[in-house]
Amino acid sequence: MRDLMRDILLAAQERGELRADLDLEAAARLVNLFVIALGDSQLLPHLNNYYQITDDMISFERALNTLLDILEHGMMGGTK
C-alpha cells in the first residue's frame, strides 16, 4: 500500500499538484499511517478508544475531512 501511495503522490507531483520539494517517501509513509489509523479505529473500537479519533463531538466524517484538509494544505503549500 505504501508503494501505491508513493506512486499516487509522484503522479500528482509530476502534474504540478504537489510541491516540488515534497519528500515523497516520507509523505507516502505518513499518509499510509493516517489512512490505516483512521480506518482501523472504525473497524476496531478498542483502537478508537486508544487513538480517540472519533466520539460524540467528532464524527468520522469530520475527522476524515480535517485530515484531508491538513494533507492538502501541507503537501500543496497552502493553495487550493
Domains identified in the chain, total number: 1
| Predicted pLDDT at 24 | 93
pLDDT of 80 strictly over 60 = no
pTM of structure:
0.74
Cα–Cα dist 26/49, whole Å: 27
| Predicted pLDDT at 77 | 61
Cα–Cα dist 24/41, whole Å: 25
**Domain range spanning residue 53?**
2-76
pLDDT tens for residues 33-78?
999 999 999 999 999 999 999 999 999 999 999 998 888 887 776 5
**All 3 cell numbers of residue 13?**
507531483
| Predicted pLDDT at 52 | 94
Q: Give the pLDDT mean for 5-11.
A: 94
pLDDT of 13 strictly over 70 = yes
**Residues 50 and 25: beta-carbon distance below 8 Å:** no
